[in-house]
Each structure stands twice: as structure tokens, then as C-alpha cells.
């Protein structure tokens, strides 16, 4: 139990704050990795090295200075300039909650058919309730949530890659330089974007500081930091590989929630394959969900709704 609390718990809390909103939907993975095609590997490596290095340094500094909360850590780190960073941190915290709330509202509306604001308010209420419940509740909630989160990533990425692995390998093997507005996207550009991604997400690191008071040795801080880097990067890598299976399909690359589009295409393709094997057309199998709107057209294949099929069958009869 002590090893879990010292080595794993800081990473669990860190990634649970990091992976939210645009990260969880896949939008950030497109922007900071997948749009570079095979060269996005450089971005993934930069993100892993960056998060690992910064986590190790931050965890060790917190251990040495015995600063286990955001304010005391910043005061010890930058001295009298801490109020300037305080303003930036508050703005970043508001932005993170807003992004997570907006993404939750869109997913709840698209998948469950509930009002958009139901998802937004649910997230805000849960954040407030957990903070009011205290440290123990937060640690338990984030531990269970992380198990479910990684299970979901393994399940969803596995489902996509099982079908699209040849396309993923082809995208990784392609020597063609991707372009953005006619300009080639270089390896250095992909690396720079990865470094930028780490930089603007460092504001989420203080969320894990309250778990660091259990660290007593440098090797524990180093181990916890490296594990945090792996935990922060692994879902990014799985999503990146899954998206490459559809690269450069604009239906996925341009979607607000790429994961929903990929999983819907996967489901439709499976139903189509089943109908070919059994000779039975599953009614409603190709109904188009609300997130596959006109702004996110699916490039393959053309979906036919059950009512139109019945109409055509009647006419043929």
C-alpha cells in the first residue's frame, strides 16, 4: 500500500486532472500529434520526456522544500513573483473546468440525448463535491476513475486498431510530409508542438502535490515522476495510433469529438460485415447519430437509413 501511495498515486491524480476535455475527446491529440501523420511520433516522444522530466523535478523540489500545496510551492520556487503566477493559475483553472464541462455537455447531448447543460452542470457539481469531501475521497475517486479510464482507452483503442491496424501501419510507414495550408509539417515542428503541449499543461501538476508528503527519498520522487510521465502519455499514444487508422480522413481529423466518430464508424462497419455474412440487414444499423452532422461527413461508406431501405424494398417488390 505504501508503494502504491508513493509511486502510483501522484501519477494517478496528475493524469486524472490532465486527461479531460479536449484530451479525452481526442481533439487535442489531433492538434498536437495526429495532424503530423507519422511525424507525430516526435510529438509523442517530446510529450513523454517533457512530462516525465517536469514531474521528477517538481516532485523532488516539493519533497526537499516540504511544499505540498500549490501556493507554498510557488512561493518557494519564484519568491516574491508568486502573485503573477497566481493570476495565470486561476485563469488556467477556470479554463480547464470550462473545457471539461463543455466536452461533457457535448458528449452527454450526443450520446445520451440529454440537454447540453446537464453534462456541464454535472461536472461542476462533482468538482465542488469532491473538493468539499476532502483528500481521502479525492484519492479514492481518482484511483477508481483511473482504472475505468485506462480500461476504456484499452477497450476503445483495441476495438479501432483491431480493424484499422493495417491503415495505422501504412500511415506510420508513409514518407510523405503532411502539410498545413500548403506548408510542410517538419519533424522539428512536431517536436516543438509536443514541448508546447507540455508547457501549457504544467499548471495541472500542482493538483498532485498533496499526495507527495509520503515521499521520503529522492528515488521515490524520481520513480513517481517517471510513472506520472508514462500515465500522462499512454492514453495520448493509444488515441494517436487509433486516429492514424483514419488519417487523413476529414470526418475524424476535423471532428469536435474524434473518438465518437471513430467508434461510430467502427460499429457501422461491424454491422455491415455482419449483414454480409448472415444476409440479414439489421434495421436501424446505419442510422446516422447526431454527432455525424453535415459539418463532420463520413467519407466511407455511404450510410443508408432503415426507413429508406424499407421504401426501396417496397418499390422493388
Question: 22-73 pLDDT, tens per residue?
Answer: 687 888 999 999 999 999 999 999 999 999 999 999 999 999 999 998 888 9
Question: 236-259 pLDDT, tens per residue?
Answer: 999 999 999 999 889 999 988 898
Gap between the Cα atoms of 194 and 41, Å rounded: 10
Torsion of CA 311, 312, 315, 317, to 10 degrees: -110
Q: Which one, of 265, 272, 261, 270, lies nearest residue 295 by Cα?
A: 261
Does pLDDT of 306 surpass 80?
Answer: no
pTM, 2 dp: 0.76
Gap between the Cα atoms of 246 and 263, Å rounded: 11
Classify 284 as helix, strand or coil.
Answer: coil
Return the pLDDT at 125. 83
Q: Which one, of 259, 231, 228, 256, lies nearest residue 246 by Cα?
A: 259
10-157-192 Cα angle (round to 5):
65
Amino acid at each position: 500500500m505504501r508503494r502504491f501511495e508513493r509511486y502510483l498515486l501522484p501519477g494517478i491524480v496528475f493524469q486524472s486532472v490532465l486527461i479531460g476535455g479536449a484530451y479525452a475527446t481526442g481533439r487535442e491529440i489531433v492538434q498536437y500529434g495526429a495532424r503530423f501523420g507519422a511525424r507525430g511520433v516526435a510529438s509523442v516522444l517530446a510529450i513523454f520526456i517533457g512530462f516525465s522530466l517536469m514531474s521528477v523535478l517538481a516532485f523532488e523540489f516539493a519533497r526537499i522544500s516540504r511544499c505540498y500545496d500549490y501556493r507554498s510551492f510557488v512561493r518557494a520556487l519564484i519568491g516574491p513573483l508568486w502573485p503573477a503566477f497566481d493570476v495565470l493559475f486561476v485563469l488556467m483553472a477556470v479554463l480547464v473546468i470550462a473545457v471539461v464541462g463543455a466536452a461533457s455537455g457535448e458528449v452527454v447531448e450526443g450520446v445520451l440525448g440529454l440537454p447540453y447543460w446537464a453534462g456541464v452542470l454535472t461536472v461542476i457539481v462533482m468538482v465542488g463535491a469532491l473538493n468539499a469531501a476532502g483528500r481521502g475521497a479525492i484519492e479514492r475517486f481518482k484511483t477508481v476513475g483511473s482504472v475505468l479510464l485506462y480500461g476504456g482507452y484499452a477497450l476503445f483503442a483495441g476495438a479501432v486498431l483491431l480493424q484499422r491496424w493495417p491503415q495505422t501501419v501504412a500511415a506510420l510507414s508513409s514518407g510523405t510530409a503532411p502539410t498545413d495550408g500548403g506548408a510542410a509539417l517538419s519533424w522539428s515542428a512536431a517536436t516543438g508542438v509536443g514541448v508546447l503541449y507540455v508547457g501549457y499543461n504544467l499548471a495541472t501538476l500542482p493538483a498532485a502535490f498533496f499526495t507527495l508528503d509520503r515521499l521520503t527519498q529522492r528515488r521515490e520522487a524520481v520513480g513517481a515522476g517517471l510513472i506520472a510521465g508514462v500515465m500522462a502519455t499512454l492514453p495520448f499514444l493509444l488515441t494517436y495510433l487509433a486516429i492514424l487508422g483514419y488519417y487523413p480522413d476529414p470526418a475524424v481529423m476535423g471532428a469536435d469529438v474524434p473518438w465518437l466518430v471513430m467508434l461510430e464508424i467502427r460499429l457501422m462497419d461491424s454491422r455491415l460485415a455482419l449483414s454480409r455474412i448472415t444476409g440479414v440487414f439489421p434495421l436501424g444499423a446505419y442510422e446516422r447519430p447526431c454527432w455525424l452532422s453535415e459539418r463532420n461527413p463520413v467519407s466511407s461508406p455511404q450510410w443508408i437509413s432503415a426507413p429508406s431501405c424499407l421504401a426501396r424494398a417496397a418499390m422493388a417488390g
